[in-house]
Amino acid sequence: QVQLVESGGGLVQPGGSLRLSCAVPGSISRFSAMGWFRQAPGKEREFVAAITWSAGNTYYADSVKGRFTISRDSAKNTVYLHMNSPKPSVPAVYYCAARRPGLGASIVENDYDSWGQGTQVPVSS
Residue-wise pLDDT for 7-21, tens only, equals 998 777 777 888 999
Tell me which residue of 68, 22, 31 sits closest to 48, measured CA to CA: 68
Q: Position 86: which residue type?
A: P
pLDDT tens-place string over residues 26-43:
876 678 999 999 998 899
Q: Are 111 and 47 in contact (CB under 8 A)?
A: no
Tens digit of pLDDT for each residue in 67-122? 999 999 988 999 999 998 766 556 889 999 999 888 889 999 999 999 999 998 87
d(CA 20, CA 112): 19
Are 112 and 24 in contact, with CB atoms under 8 Å apart?
Answer: no
Whole-number Å distance between alpha carbons of 40 and 26: 30
